[in-house]
Structure 1
Amino acid sequence: MSSIPEKDWKLFRKLQSELTAKACELVFRQVNNIANVRSGKEHESYLDLYRLIETEDAKIAEMFDNPTRNNVILKIVTLKKYDVLSVEQLEMFSEETQEFVNRILNLS
């Protein structure tokens, strides 16, 4: 599948802001977890935070950088892989797109 249907492209563009916010919120939750247990181990917590931001930044880029009709199917796969795209949101896409995503992630 090299390109998704126009309807799915428009749906992705419509959901993009909501999905970006969810991805960021998931990162903020992890940041809070690190911050809440840093007492007495501030430097270790700082290093954990630094590694987290590096890792999560790469994931954000993988999910959202430069979406095109030719690569957005891979963005959708990645969003699902990282639990940013919900089952209900995936079900909004065409059956063809859902099947591709499920096949890649072995969800079916």
Structure 2
Amino acid sequence: MHAGIPERDWKVFRDLYEKALDRFCHRALDEIATLCTGADDERTNHQRYAAVYGRLREINKDMSAAFDRFARSKALMQIAIMRNMGLWTDEELARFSEDTLERTKPRPLDEEE
């Protein structure tokens, strides 16, 4: 088995990357909007702000892991992370080869390789 991503799958990844980024940002913005409005909770504005700040730090870490340093050498790892985040449809995932899908399928955190 080769260590890198096949050329065909690299092209698919380049095509789907922006869709995944847009979906990630959409979800993040929805979550932050919910934290901001919190109409039915009794938190103060400062408490809501602190919640938003903390969650944004977590979101930024996730975004960095999935999307920073777009490069072919990181593609398989990034595909695995994006799959785990559920950022692509089944139809979009079907564009990848079986080999790439197998190598990037989500696994439980405690599963050994």
Q: Which has the higher helix share?
A: 1
CA distance in 2, matches of 1:77, 1:43: 37
1:11-90 equivalences under 5 Å are 11-37=12-38, 40-90=43-93
For residue 105 of structure 1, report the CA deviation from its aligned partner.
2.0
- Number of aligned residue pairs: give it: 105
CA distance in 2, matches of 1:75, 1:32: 27
Gaps of 5+ in 2: 109-113
List, as ranges, runs of 4+ consecutive aligned residues in structure 1 with deviation greater than 3 Å: none
CA distance in 1, matches of 2:7, 2:46: 49
Between the two proteins, what is the percent identity of the paired residues? 23
Structure 1 counterpart of 2:111? none
CA distance in 1, matches of 2:88, 2:107: 13
Larger radius of gyration: 2
Q: Could you tell me whether the CA contact under 8 Å between 1:22 and 1:84 is conserved in 2?
A: yes
TM-score by length of 2: 0.83
Structure 1 counterpart of 2:107? 105
Q: Could you tell me whether the CA contact under 8 Å between 1:62 and 1:75 is conserved in 2?
A: yes
For residue 20 of structure 1, report the CA deviation from its aligned partner.
0.8
TM-score by length of 1: 0.86
Which is further off, 83-92 or 42-51?
83-92
Structure 1 counterpart of 2:11? 10
Gaps of 5+ in 1: none
RMSD: 1.7
